[in-house]
Chains A and B, each alone.
Chain A
Amino acid sequence: MNIHQSWGNVPQVEQTCLEQLWRSQTLPAAATLLPFGQGRSYGDVCLNDKGYSLATGRLNRFIHFDREQGILSAEAGVTLAEILELILPAGWFLPVSPGTKFVSLGGALANDVHGKNHHKAGSFGRHVRAFELLRSNGQKLICTQEENSDWFSATVGGLGLTGLVTQAELQLKKIDSPAIVQKTRRFENLAEFLRLSEETEADWEYTVAWVDCMAKGKQLGRGIFSMGNHATAATPGIKPEVLQPKFSMPFNAPSWLLNQYSVKLFNQLYYHLPRKHDSQVHYEPFFYPLDKIANWNRLYGKRGFYQFQCVVPLDKAEAAISEMLQHISKSGQGSFLSVLKRLGNIASPGMLSFPRDGITLALDFANRGESTRHLLADLNEITDRHGGAIYPAKDATMTTALFVNAYPGWQKFSEYMDPHFSSSFWRRVTGE
């Protein structure tokens, strides 16, 4: 039976679901295996068609919390939401957080995720002090930057292919308040976005931009730049609490709901929406705006959706991204969730880590079949031509050539793969 799906709902696969219940246990004798966290990856990186998917949701116990030093060790199935619940009241925060808190520690490690502070803090893996890797032969490896350091860099960003991470130790970040001091600025084009990125990068811990992917001509590349810092003193009314979703999409929406007109209208309104330029907000809406609606992925209907995320080198960013935006707006596909962000030059620790110096663009596309895959192929090609990379956590269409170009470490990496582990993603991009 398959109850594990990826966030985008494409591709649909057939796999047998198993569960790891205790960190003291060995792995089930089944091949091929792939760990499954919270299924917040969009494409097939968390799927293993015709194989076994090993759920880690029950591995959600805390192991040690040093409240003075901000060092937390926990089982790999603990979610970032659960971690926040524990650490916020103690004055600590996640060192790096993706755009949803409903991901597991193991998933964040295996995709070496990045957040709005990449230019300051680098990727998630840099804040992992140690983890335990359980291999199918029963071997347990404690990995740190010094000990078993090759296994460390194979497993961070290793897409679940080197074995099961059973537990990990994280260095947290001290904060004075759960509030974020936020500023937003409209920008009219990509050049202005790049300028804002550069100007803000020293003084602002968190930066990200929304881009109107439906805009054409002179409006191409317009959007809203937002930046934030942790507030330095307690703010009245903003409590150190984790917010639960307010709504839930109970079922799949009809597929006509998100069409180019509704999206265009939304984007128009969103761009022109009057907003306060400076404000103090709770960290939740700042980091996790989408977590307010549980199962929002069902908005895309049962055919699901693709996510595209690339990074292109800084000097080619303007050319590459305007070409992409032209393709997208011409196609009439694309959604309101389009994000631009400057990734900094702090090196990622993983052999296959995605985050690297440059500009990243991320957006959703409702699955309209062939036309969507065509568009994605075009975007992939533009990425490749400009020396960029596609993010495996979001990918369902990258070709072998593009993968090999963007991830030159893949051959060395493959030596560290567990012989009993595999994934749909891996077989697709390596043509195995």
Chain B
Amino acid sequence: MQSIVILGATSAIAEQTARIYATRGDALCLVARDDAKLEIIKSDLEIRGASKVTKLSYDLNHTHLHQALLDDVIKALARIDIVLVAYGTLGDQKKCEQDFDETLQELQTNCLGVISLLTLFSNYLEKQKAGCIAAISSPAGDRGRQSNYVYGSAKGALSIYLQGMRNRLYNSSVHVLTIKPGFVNTPMTKDFKKGLLWVEPDVIARGIVKAIDRRKDIVYLPFFWRYIMLVIKLIPESIFKRLSL
């Protein structure tokens, strides 16, 4: 049995991931800002087989509460095997271009707040000399594009932060996983026109669990995004800047 804390447990991807752990009989600590949604997910996971489910209501942007949050998690779980960071917002790129406060808000949610949490949790796992930190970043962080470079730079910074932390925690046997999902049909992307490359969140969830089990470093989900991003990264900047991406 493993103990898993999910930060942003009401995300569609997180919910599907939690179901997989629940059917394995694991203990889950769910953190999100909406208590009513948490309650709905909690009873579902208990029925699916989770050995214990605790819910904690926190707005994760409130970094001054992160220490209290960690304390609550430890109280709930006794030991932490997996920390999954799943919250995020896609933001409004156009608005961000006009308004720095908006940009700051996006960076706060998708990067700075996450870094605050990771600071606390990584130290805890480092002392434990075991465990896994898995965070959902995005291929959008692999290269800046006009359509979403604020979100992209937040995720890009997060990816590099995770990379460094992986390097640091290697000797403490703490596994750090960077997750880069492609197009996923979730509430975050409800206004997008869906095509062939889109997948449902349960597909991503299976990929996440597998990557955690196999102690992977960086995963693109589904796998083909790795090749798509390879091609995108290979395009020379002199050409890339002219594309409307």
Q: How many residues of A contact B (CB 8 A)?
A: 14
Interface mask (A336-349 → B, CB under 8 Å = 1, otherwise 0): 00000000000000
Does chain B have a CB within 8 A of A273? Answer: no
Show 9 residue pairs from A and B whose CB-CB distance is below 8 angstroms, ordered by the A residue.
Answer: A1-B193, A19-B190, A22-B36, A23-B40, A62-B43, A62-B47, A63-B43, A64-B43, A64-B47
A265 at the interface (CB under 8 A from B): no
User: Please, which residues of chain B bring their CB within 8 A of the CB of A64?
Assistant: 43, 47
With the chains together, A378 CA to B12 CA distance in Å?
A: 49
Interface of A toward B, CB cutoff 8 Å: 1, 3, 19, 21-24, 58, 61-65, 86
Contact A62 B48 (CB under 8 A): yes
User: B235 to chain A: closest CB distance in Å?
Assistant: 30
B41 in contact (CB, < 8 A) = yes
Closest 3 CB pairs of A and B: A61-B44, A62-B47, A65-B47
> Per a CB cutoff under 8 Å, which of A3, A19, A61 touches B40?
A61
Task: List residues of chain B with CB within 8 A of the CB of A63.
Answer: 43-44, 47
Binding site secondary structure of chain A: loop
Question: Which residues of the partner chain A approach B48 to less than 8 Å between Cβ atoms?
Answer: 62, 86
- Tell whether A24 pairs with B40 under 8 Å between CB atoms, given A1-B193, A3-B194, A19-B190: yes
Q: What's the Cα separation between A3 and B185 when bound, in Å?
A: 13
Chain B 172-196 near chain A by CB (<8 Å), digits 1 or 0? 0000000000000001001001100
Residues of A within 8 A of B187 (CB): 19, 21
B190: nearest residue on chain A (CB-CB)? A19
Chain A residue at minimal CB-CB distance from B43:
A63
CB distance from A75 to the nearest CB of B (A): 8
Complex Cα spacing A21 to B37, Å: 10
Q: Interface SS of chain B: helix, strand, loop or mixed?
A: helix
- Which residues on the B side are within 8 Å of A19 (C-beta)? 187, 190
- Residues of B within 8 Å of A58, CB to CB, are 12
Residues of B within 8 A of A24 (CB): 36-37, 40
CA distance A62 to B40 in the complex (A): 9
Which of A22, A62, A86 contacts B37, CB < 8 Å? A22
Residues from chain B with a CB closer than 8 A to the CB of A22 are 36-37, 40
B30 to chain A, nearest CB (A): 13
Residues of A within 8 A of B44 (CB): 61-63
CA of A356 to CA of B40, assembled, Å = 38
**10 further A-B pairs in the complex, CB-CB below 8 A; given A19-B190, A22-B40:** A21-B187, A22-B36, A22-B37, A24-B40, A61-B41, A61-B43, A61-B44, A62-B43, A64-B47, A86-B47
How far, in Å, is B230 (CB) from chain A's closest CB?
27
User: Cα distance A23–B44 when bound, in Å?
Assistant: 13
Which residues on B sit within 8 Å (CB–CB) of A1? 193-194
What is the distance, in angstroms, from B87's C-beta to the closest C-beta of chain A?
16
Query: Which residues of B have CB within 8 Å of A65?
Result: 47
Q: Smallest CB-CB separation from B44: which chain A residue?
A: A61
Q: Which residue of the partner chain A has the closest CB to B41?
A: A61
CA gap between A123 and B40 in the complex, in Å: 29
Which residue among A21, A24, A61, A64 has the maximum number of chain B CB atoms within 10 Å of its CB?
A61
> Within the complex, what minimum Cβ distance (angstroms) separates A16 from chain B?
12
Which chain A residue lies CB-closest to B15? A61
Chain A nearest CB from B206 CB (Å) reads: 13
Q: Kindly report which residue of chain B lies nearest to residue A89, judged by CB atoms.
A: B49
Task: Collect the chain A residues with CB atoms within 8 Å of residue B40's CB.
Answer: 22-24, 61
The answer for the CA separation of A250 and B211 in the assembled complex, in Å, is: 28
Question: Inside 8 A of A86's CB, which chain B residues have their CB?
Answer: 47-48
Complex alpha-carbon distance, A1 and B194, angstroms: 9
Interchain CA distance A1-B192 in the complex, whole Å:
10
Instruction: Enumerate chain A residues within 8 angstroms of B36, measured Cβ to Cβ.
Output: 22, 24
For B12, the chain A residues whose CB sits under 8 A away are 58
- Chain A residues with CB under 8 Å of B190's CB are 19
Task: Give bound CA distance, A3 to B192, whole Å.
Answer: 13
B39 to A: closest C-beta gap in Å: 9
**Across the two chains, which residue of chain B brings its CB closest to A82?**
B48
Residue of B36, B47, B194 with most partner-chain A CB within 10 A: B47
Task: Report how far A3 CA is from B194 CA in the complex, Å.
Answer: 9
Minimum CB–CB distance for A74 against chain B, Å: 9
Q: A58 vs B13: C-alpha distance in the bound complex, in angstroms? A: 12
- Residues 32-71 (chain B) with a chain A CB within 8 angstroms: 36-37, 40-41, 43-44, 47-48
**B125-154 vs A, Cβ < 8 Å mask (1 yes, 0 no):** 000000000000000000000000000000
Chain A residue with Cβ nearest B200: A57
What's the Cα separation between A64 and B193 when bound, in Å? 36
Q: How far is the CA of A22 from the CA of B38 in the complex (A)?
A: 11
CB-based nearest A residue for B36: A24
Which single residue of chain A is at the shortest CB-CB distance from B187? A21
Report how far A23 CA is from B47 CA in the complex, Å.
17
Interface 0/1 of B233-244, CB less than 8 Å to A: 000000000000
A residues near B194, Cβ cutoff 8 Å? 1, 3
CB distance from A90 to the nearest CB of B (A): 11
CB distance from B51 to the nearest CB of A (A): 16
Chain A CB within 10 A, most for which of B12, B40, B41: B40
In whole angstroms, how far apart are the Cα atoms of A86 and B43 in the complex?
A: 14
A19 and B194 alpha carbons, distance in the complex (Å): 14
Q: Chain B's nearest CB lies how many Å from the CB of A338?
A: 34
Q: How far is the CA of A64 from the CA of B36 in the complex (A)?
A: 16
User: How far is A141 from B105 in the complex, measured between Cα atoms in Å?
Assistant: 40
**Considering the chains assembled together, what is the distance between the CA atoms of A257 and B67 in angstroms?**
65
Question: A19 to B47, alpha carbons, bound, how many Å?
Answer: 24
Chain B, 11-31, CB within 8 A of any chain A CB:
12
Complexed CA–CA distance, A62 and B48 (Å) = 8
A130 CB → nearest B CB, Å: 17
Q: How far is the CA of A319 from the CA of B30 in the complex (A)?
A: 63
Nearest-neighbor residue (CB-CB) of A22 within chain B: B37
